[in-house]
Amino acid sequence: MKVVHQICCGIDVHAKMLVACLLSANGEKEIRTFSTMTDDLLRMRDWLLAANCTHVAIESTGVYWKPVFNILEDRLEVILINPEHARALRGRKTDVKDAEWLADLLRHGLLRPSFIPPLEIRELRELTRYRESLVREQSAVANRIQKVIESGNIKLGQVASDALGASGRVMLWALARGETDPVKLAALAKRQLKEKMPQLQRALQGRLTVNQRFVLGELLRRWEELEAADRRVTQEIDQYLQARPKLARARVILDSIVGVGPRAAEVIMAEIGIQMKPIFATDAHLASWAGICPGNKASGGKRLSGRTRNGNTYLARGAGPSGLGRDPEEELLLAQSVSAVGQTAGPQEGFDCRSSFAVGDHLPCVRARSDLHRTRR
Protein backbone atom coordinates (compact mmCIF):
# COMPACT_ATOMS: atom_id res chain seq x y z
CA MET A 1 0.00 0.00 0.00
CA LYS A 2 1.23 3.50 -0.85
CA VAL A 3 3.02 5.32 1.96
CA VAL A 4 1.72 8.89 2.34
CA HIS A 5 3.64 9.99 5.43
CA GLN A 6 7.14 8.59 5.90
CA ILE A 7 7.48 9.45 9.60
CA CYS A 8 4.33 9.78 11.66
CA CYS A 9 2.91 9.05 15.08
CA GLY A 10 -0.32 7.66 16.51
CA ILE A 11 -1.36 8.70 20.02
CA ASP A 12 -4.02 7.07 22.20
CA VAL A 13 -4.96 9.64 24.85
CA HIS A 14 -6.51 8.98 28.26
CA ALA A 15 -7.13 11.09 31.36
CA LYS A 16 -3.86 10.32 33.17
CA MET A 17 -1.61 8.93 30.45
CA LEU A 18 -1.15 8.52 26.73
CA VAL A 19 0.59 5.98 24.53
CA ALA A 20 2.48 7.18 21.44
CA CYS A 21 3.69 4.98 18.58
CA LEU A 22 6.32 6.58 16.33
CA LEU A 23 6.71 5.03 12.87
CA SER A 24 10.07 5.72 11.25
CA ALA A 25 10.80 5.79 7.51
CA ASN A 26 12.04 2.17 7.53
CA GLY A 27 8.86 0.96 9.26
CA GLU A 28 10.30 0.52 12.73
CA LYS A 29 7.99 1.29 15.64
CA GLU A 30 8.94 3.02 18.86
CA ILE A 31 6.40 2.95 21.67
CA ARG A 32 6.52 5.40 24.56
CA THR A 33 4.14 6.20 27.38
CA PHE A 34 3.77 9.70 28.80
CA SER A 35 1.66 11.26 31.49
CA THR A 36 -0.74 14.02 30.50
CA MET A 37 1.04 16.63 32.61
CA THR A 38 2.33 19.62 30.65
CA ASP A 39 6.03 18.85 31.17
CA ASP A 40 5.57 15.33 29.82
CA LEU A 41 3.61 16.60 26.83
CA LEU A 42 6.43 19.02 26.03
CA ARG A 43 8.93 16.17 26.36
CA MET A 44 6.85 14.10 23.91
CA ARG A 45 6.79 17.00 21.45
CA ASP A 46 10.58 17.33 21.61
CA TRP A 47 10.91 13.58 21.04
CA LEU A 48 8.71 13.73 17.93
CA LEU A 49 10.53 16.77 16.54
CA ALA A 50 13.92 15.13 17.11
CA ALA A 51 12.71 12.12 15.10
CA ASN A 52 11.61 14.42 12.22
CA CYS A 53 7.99 13.38 12.67
CA THR A 54 5.65 15.43 10.47
CA HIS A 55 2.13 14.13 11.15
CA VAL A 56 0.33 13.00 14.30
CA ALA A 57 -3.06 11.30 14.72
CA ILE A 58 -4.86 11.52 18.07
CA GLU A 59 -7.64 9.29 19.34
CA SER A 60 -9.40 10.33 22.52
CA THR A 61 -12.68 10.48 24.36
CA GLY A 62 -14.13 13.58 25.98
CA VAL A 63 -11.85 16.61 26.09
CA TYR A 64 -8.59 14.82 26.92
CA TRP A 65 -7.27 15.51 23.42
CA LYS A 66 -7.35 19.30 23.80
CA PRO A 67 -4.11 19.90 25.75
CA VAL A 68 -2.23 17.44 23.53
CA PHE A 69 -3.55 19.12 20.40
CA ASN A 70 -2.80 22.63 21.70
CA ILE A 71 0.84 21.76 22.46
CA LEU A 72 1.53 19.94 19.19
CA GLU A 73 -0.42 21.98 16.63
CA ASP A 74 2.10 24.83 16.29
CA ARG A 75 4.98 22.50 15.29
CA LEU A 76 3.32 19.41 13.76
CA GLU A 77 0.42 18.53 11.50
CA VAL A 78 -2.09 17.10 13.99
CA ILE A 79 -5.42 15.44 13.25
CA LEU A 80 -8.08 14.24 15.64
CA ILE A 81 -9.95 11.14 14.49
CA ASN A 82 -13.28 9.62 15.38
CA PRO A 83 -12.72 6.33 17.27
CA GLU A 84 -15.49 4.79 15.17
CA HIS A 85 -13.31 5.23 12.07
CA ALA A 86 -10.36 3.28 13.54
CA ARG A 87 -12.01 0.65 15.72
CA ALA A 88 -9.80 -2.32 16.52
CA LEU A 89 -10.91 -5.94 16.30
CA ARG A 90 -12.53 -7.42 19.38
CA GLY A 91 -10.00 -9.14 21.60
CA ARG A 92 -7.10 -7.14 20.18
CA LYS A 93 -7.69 -3.82 21.86
CA THR A 94 -4.98 -2.42 24.12
CA ASP A 95 -3.53 1.06 24.40
CA VAL A 96 -0.36 0.00 22.62
CA LYS A 97 -2.20 -1.75 19.80
CA ASP A 98 -4.51 1.25 19.37
CA ALA A 99 -1.53 3.59 19.01
CA GLU A 100 0.15 1.21 16.53
CA TRP A 101 -3.04 0.89 14.50
CA LEU A 102 -3.44 4.69 14.37
CA ALA A 103 0.14 5.12 13.20
CA ASP A 104 -0.29 2.47 10.47
CA LEU A 105 -3.52 4.02 9.19
CA LEU A 106 -2.05 7.52 9.27
CA ARG A 107 1.07 6.45 7.38
CA HIS A 108 -1.05 5.22 4.48
CA GLY A 109 -3.49 8.15 4.50
CA LEU A 110 -6.48 6.12 5.64
CA LEU A 111 -7.68 8.40 8.44
CA ARG A 112 -10.36 11.03 8.06
CA PRO A 113 -9.62 14.05 10.27
CA SER A 114 -12.31 15.52 12.49
CA PHE A 115 -13.13 19.19 12.06
CA ILE A 116 -11.07 21.31 14.46
CA PRO A 117 -11.56 25.06 13.96
CA PRO A 118 -8.70 27.57 14.29
CA LEU A 119 -7.61 28.76 17.73
CA GLU A 120 -9.55 32.04 17.66
CA ILE A 121 -12.74 30.16 16.83
CA ARG A 122 -12.08 27.63 19.60
CA GLU A 123 -11.67 30.48 22.07
CA LEU A 124 -14.98 31.96 20.93
CA ARG A 125 -16.53 28.51 21.33
CA GLU A 126 -15.46 28.40 24.98
CA LEU A 127 -17.50 31.53 25.62
CA THR A 128 -20.60 30.56 23.62
CA ARG A 129 -20.75 27.06 25.14
CA TYR A 130 -20.38 28.48 28.62
CA ARG A 131 -23.27 30.83 27.89
CA GLU A 132 -25.31 27.89 26.63
CA SER A 133 -24.72 26.08 29.92
CA LEU A 134 -25.91 29.18 31.77
CA VAL A 135 -29.08 29.28 29.69
CA ARG A 136 -29.81 25.60 30.41
CA GLU A 137 -29.19 26.07 34.11
CA GLN A 138 -31.36 29.17 34.21
CA SER A 139 -34.15 27.29 32.47
CA ALA A 140 -33.91 24.52 35.08
CA VAL A 141 -34.11 27.09 37.90
CA ALA A 142 -37.13 28.73 36.24
CA ASN A 143 -38.90 25.36 36.09
CA ARG A 144 -38.12 24.77 39.74
CA ILE A 145 -39.57 28.19 40.65
CA GLN A 146 -42.74 27.31 38.77
CA LYS A 147 -43.04 24.05 40.70
CA VAL A 148 -42.62 25.79 44.05
CA ILE A 149 -45.30 28.40 43.44
CA GLU A 150 -47.64 25.81 41.94
CA SER A 151 -47.22 23.77 45.14
CA GLY A 152 -48.56 26.80 47.03
CA ASN A 153 -51.37 27.25 44.48
CA ILE A 154 -49.93 30.52 43.16
CA LYS A 155 -51.14 30.69 39.54
CA LEU A 156 -49.01 33.59 38.38
CA GLY A 157 -47.88 31.70 35.29
CA GLN A 158 -51.50 31.27 34.20
CA VAL A 159 -52.07 35.04 34.05
CA ALA A 160 -48.69 36.59 33.19
CA SER A 161 -47.12 35.58 29.88
CA ASP A 162 -43.73 35.51 31.64
CA ALA A 163 -43.79 34.71 35.35
CA LEU A 164 -40.16 35.80 35.60
CA GLY A 165 -40.60 39.08 33.78
CA ALA A 166 -40.19 42.47 35.44
CA SER A 167 -43.57 42.35 37.19
CA GLY A 168 -43.42 38.66 37.96
CA ARG A 169 -40.07 38.84 39.74
CA VAL A 170 -41.23 41.72 41.95
CA MET A 171 -44.29 39.73 42.99
CA LEU A 172 -42.30 36.57 43.59
CA TRP A 173 -39.78 38.41 45.75
CA ALA A 174 -42.66 39.86 47.78
CA LEU A 175 -44.04 36.35 48.24
CA ALA A 176 -40.62 35.09 49.32
CA ARG A 177 -40.38 37.88 51.92
CA GLY A 178 -43.70 36.91 53.46
CA GLU A 179 -46.34 39.06 51.77
CA THR A 180 -49.69 37.24 51.64
CA ASP A 181 -52.21 39.94 50.65
CA PRO A 182 -53.18 39.29 46.99
CA VAL A 183 -54.33 42.90 46.55
CA LYS A 184 -50.93 44.28 47.56
CA LEU A 185 -49.16 41.67 45.44
CA ALA A 186 -51.27 42.48 42.37
CA ALA A 187 -50.59 46.20 42.85
CA LEU A 188 -46.93 45.50 42.05
CA ALA A 189 -47.85 44.79 38.41
CA LYS A 190 -46.26 46.99 35.74
CA ARG A 191 -47.26 48.14 32.28
CA GLN A 192 -49.70 45.85 30.44
CA LEU A 193 -50.06 43.44 33.34
CA LYS A 194 -51.99 46.15 35.22
CA GLU A 195 -54.90 45.47 32.89
CA LYS A 196 -55.27 42.00 34.44
CA MET A 197 -55.69 43.15 38.04
CA PRO A 198 -58.74 40.99 38.90
CA GLN A 199 -57.13 37.85 37.44
CA LEU A 200 -53.87 38.60 39.24
CA GLN A 201 -55.59 38.95 42.61
CA ARG A 202 -57.19 35.53 42.16
CA ALA A 203 -53.96 33.95 40.89
CA LEU A 204 -51.92 35.28 43.84
CA GLN A 205 -54.32 33.99 46.47
CA GLY A 206 -52.37 30.93 47.53
CA ARG A 207 -50.67 29.42 50.55
CA LEU A 208 -46.90 29.17 50.70
CA THR A 209 -45.29 27.58 53.75
CA VAL A 210 -42.25 29.09 55.47
CA ASN A 211 -39.96 26.53 53.86
CA GLN A 212 -41.47 27.14 50.43
CA ARG A 213 -40.85 30.88 50.80
CA PHE A 214 -37.24 30.19 51.75
CA VAL A 215 -36.74 27.92 48.73
CA LEU A 216 -38.44 30.48 46.46
CA GLY A 217 -36.07 33.20 47.66
CA GLU A 218 -33.02 31.01 47.09
CA LEU A 219 -34.19 30.10 43.60
CA LEU A 220 -34.90 33.71 42.68
CA ARG A 221 -31.45 34.71 43.90
CA ARG A 222 -29.87 31.93 41.84
CA TRP A 223 -31.90 32.92 38.77
CA GLU A 224 -30.71 36.52 39.01
CA GLU A 225 -27.10 35.38 39.46
CA LEU A 226 -27.36 33.36 36.28
CA GLU A 227 -28.98 36.30 34.49
CA ALA A 228 -26.07 38.54 35.53
CA ALA A 229 -23.54 35.90 34.45
CA ASP A 230 -25.27 35.65 31.06
CA ARG A 231 -24.96 39.42 30.59
CA ARG A 232 -21.28 39.32 31.52
CA VAL A 233 -20.38 36.54 29.12
CA THR A 234 -22.41 38.19 26.35
CA GLN A 235 -20.44 41.38 26.89
CA GLU A 236 -17.18 39.41 26.82
CA ILE A 237 -18.20 37.77 23.53
CA ASP A 238 -19.01 41.16 22.03
CA GLN A 239 -15.62 42.57 23.11
CA TYR A 240 -13.83 39.49 21.76
CA LEU A 241 -15.49 39.90 18.35
CA GLN A 242 -14.99 43.65 18.20
CA ALA A 243 -11.26 43.11 18.71
CA ARG A 244 -11.27 40.85 15.63
CA PRO A 245 -12.82 42.76 12.70
CA LYS A 246 -13.02 39.66 10.49
CA LEU A 247 -15.15 37.81 13.04
CA ALA A 248 -17.23 40.92 13.74
CA ARG A 249 -17.94 41.24 10.02
CA ALA A 250 -18.95 37.58 9.82
CA ARG A 251 -21.44 38.10 12.65
CA VAL A 252 -22.98 41.04 10.78
CA ILE A 253 -23.34 38.92 7.63
CA LEU A 254 -24.98 36.03 9.49
CA ASP A 255 -27.21 38.44 11.38
CA SER A 256 -28.46 39.80 8.05
CA ILE A 257 -30.13 36.45 7.29
CA VAL A 258 -33.83 36.72 8.06
CA GLY A 259 -34.57 35.00 11.36
CA VAL A 260 -30.96 34.69 12.55
CA GLY A 261 -30.29 36.86 15.58
CA PRO A 262 -26.93 37.92 17.02
CA ARG A 263 -26.81 35.03 19.51
CA ALA A 264 -27.52 32.43 16.84
CA ALA A 265 -24.89 34.06 14.60
CA GLU A 266 -22.29 33.82 17.38
CA VAL A 267 -23.10 30.15 18.01
CA ILE A 268 -22.89 29.29 14.32
CA MET A 269 -19.51 31.05 14.03
CA ALA A 270 -18.18 29.35 17.15
CA GLU A 271 -19.17 25.87 15.99
CA ILE A 272 -18.28 25.89 12.29
CA GLY A 273 -15.94 28.86 11.87
CA ILE A 274 -16.07 31.34 9.00
CA GLN A 275 -14.19 29.46 6.27
CA MET A 276 -16.68 26.91 4.96
CA LYS A 277 -15.60 25.89 1.48
CA PRO A 278 -12.32 24.14 2.42
CA ILE A 279 -14.20 22.01 4.97
CA PHE A 280 -17.85 21.62 3.93
CA ALA A 281 -18.46 21.52 0.19
CA THR A 282 -22.22 22.12 0.48
CA ASP A 283 -24.88 22.78 3.09
CA ALA A 284 -25.72 19.05 2.87
CA HIS A 285 -22.21 18.15 4.04
CA LEU A 286 -22.55 20.58 6.93
CA ALA A 287 -25.95 19.18 7.89
CA SER A 288 -24.52 15.66 7.83
CA TRP A 289 -21.61 16.68 10.08
CA ALA A 290 -23.96 18.43 12.49
CA GLY A 291 -26.09 15.27 12.73
CA ILE A 292 -29.35 16.89 11.63
CA CYS A 293 -30.06 14.93 8.46
CA PRO A 294 -31.43 11.38 8.11
CA GLY A 295 -28.98 8.54 8.46
CA ASN A 296 -28.54 5.67 6.02
CA LYS A 297 -28.89 2.07 7.13
CA ALA A 298 -30.01 -0.30 4.40
CA SER A 299 -29.37 -3.96 3.65
CA GLY A 300 -30.82 -6.38 1.16
CA GLY A 301 -32.59 -3.59 -0.66
CA LYS A 302 -34.48 -2.54 2.46
CA ARG A 303 -34.11 0.66 4.41
CA LEU A 304 -33.69 -0.43 8.01
CA SER A 305 -33.33 2.92 9.74
CA GLY A 306 -33.06 6.63 9.07
CA ARG A 307 -32.04 7.58 12.58
CA THR A 308 -29.86 10.66 12.78
CA ARG A 309 -26.34 10.32 14.17
CA ASN A 310 -25.05 12.12 17.22
CA GLY A 311 -23.82 15.42 15.86
CA ASN A 312 -23.10 18.91 17.13
CA THR A 313 -25.92 19.63 19.56
CA TYR A 314 -24.77 23.21 20.12
CA LEU A 315 -25.06 23.97 16.41
CA ALA A 316 -28.41 22.19 16.14
CA ARG A 317 -29.83 24.27 18.99
CA GLY A 318 -28.21 27.49 17.81
CA ALA A 319 -29.45 27.15 14.21
CA GLY A 320 -32.78 25.60 15.14
CA PRO A 321 -36.11 27.18 16.07
CA SER A 322 -34.94 28.10 19.59
CA GLY A 323 -32.00 30.14 18.29
CA LEU A 324 -33.29 31.65 15.09
CA GLY A 325 -36.40 33.79 15.17
CA ARG A 326 -36.52 37.46 16.03
CA ASP A 327 -40.22 38.08 15.59
CA PRO A 328 -43.19 36.04 14.23
CA GLU A 329 -43.32 37.89 10.91
CA GLU A 330 -39.63 37.27 10.19
CA GLU A 331 -40.02 33.61 11.21
CA LEU A 332 -42.92 33.34 8.75
CA LEU A 333 -40.78 34.93 6.02
CA LEU A 334 -37.96 32.50 6.78
CA ALA A 335 -40.37 29.55 6.59
CA GLN A 336 -41.67 30.76 3.21
CA SER A 337 -38.13 31.18 1.89
CA VAL A 338 -37.16 27.71 3.10
CA SER A 339 -40.25 26.25 1.47
CA ALA A 340 -39.17 27.78 -1.84
CA VAL A 341 -35.76 26.14 -1.45
CA GLY A 342 -37.52 22.79 -1.25
CA GLN A 343 -36.04 21.31 1.93
CA THR A 344 -38.73 18.78 2.75
CA ALA A 345 -36.97 15.50 3.52
CA GLY A 346 -36.03 14.02 6.86
CA PRO A 347 -37.33 14.13 10.41
CA GLN A 348 -39.15 17.22 11.59
CA GLU A 349 -36.66 18.09 14.29
CA GLY A 350 -33.91 18.48 11.70
CA PHE A 351 -35.98 20.44 9.18
CA ASP A 352 -35.41 23.97 10.46
CA CYS A 353 -31.68 23.46 11.01
CA ARG A 354 -31.01 22.07 7.54
CA SER A 355 -33.17 24.80 6.09
CA SER A 356 -31.16 27.53 7.78
CA PHE A 357 -27.98 26.09 6.23
CA ALA A 358 -29.61 25.90 2.81
CA VAL A 359 -31.00 29.41 2.95
CA GLY A 360 -27.41 30.68 3.04
CA ASP A 361 -27.01 29.58 -0.60
CA HIS A 362 -30.11 31.61 -1.49
CA LEU A 363 -29.21 34.63 0.63
CA PRO A 364 -29.64 37.32 -2.08
CA CYS A 365 -33.20 36.17 -2.72
CA VAL A 366 -34.02 36.02 0.98
CA ARG A 367 -32.52 39.46 1.61
CA ALA A 368 -34.50 40.95 -1.29
CA ARG A 369 -37.74 39.49 0.04
CA SER A 370 -36.86 40.74 3.53
CA ASP A 371 -36.26 44.29 2.26
CA LEU A 372 -39.51 44.24 0.33
CA HIS A 373 -41.32 42.91 3.40
CA ARG A 374 -39.95 45.69 5.61
CA THR A 375 -40.82 48.34 2.98
CA ARG A 376 -44.45 47.19 2.86
CA ARG A 377 -44.62 47.38 6.64
Residues 317 and 329 in one domain: yes
Residue 311, pLDDT above cutoff 90: no
In a domain? residue 115: no
Residues 251 and 351 in one domain: yes
Residues 36 and 136 in one domain: no
- Pairwise CA distance, residues 288 & 128, whole Å: 22
AA identity, residue 218: E
In a domain? residue 114: no
pLDDT in tens, 76-112: 999 999 887 787 777 778 999 999 999 999 999 999 8
pTM of the model: 0.80
The domain tally of the chain equals: 3
What does the pLDDT read at residue 336? 54
pLDDT in tens, 111-153: 989 899 999 999 999 999 999 999 999 999 999 999 999 999 9
Q: Which residues of 295-321 are buried (b: 16+ CB within 10 A; e: fewer)?
A: eeeeeeeeeeeeebeebbebbbbbbbe
Better-scored residue on pLDDT, 239 or 346: 239
Residues 71 and 141 in one domain: no
What does the pLDDT read at residue 305? 86
> Which domain-ending residue is among 175, 207, 242?
242
CATH (domain of 150)? 1.10.287
CATH (domain of 31)? 3.30.420.40
> Which domain-ending residue is among 186, 211, 242?
242
Mean pLDDT of the chain: 84
- Pairwise CA distance, residues 295 & 325, whole Å: 27
AA identity, residue 169: R
- Pairwise CA distance, residues 49 & 182, whole Å: 74
Residues 325 and 306 in one domain: yes
Contact of 254 with 324, CB cutoff 8 Å: no
pLDDT in tens, 179-189: 889 999 999 98
Residue 372: exposure state from Cβ atoms within 10 A (0-12, 13-18, ≥19)? exposed
Residues 208 and 314 in one domain: no
Mean pLDDT of 299-328: 72
pLDDT in tens, 206-257: 889 999 999 999 999 999 999 999 999 999 999 999 999 999 999 999 888 8
Of 282, 319, 273, 318, whose CA–CA distance to 117 is shortest? 273
Range of the domain at 98: 8-107
The shares of helix, strand and coil residues in the chain, as percent rounded to the nearest 5, are 60, 10, 30
Helix (H) or strand (E) holding 15: none
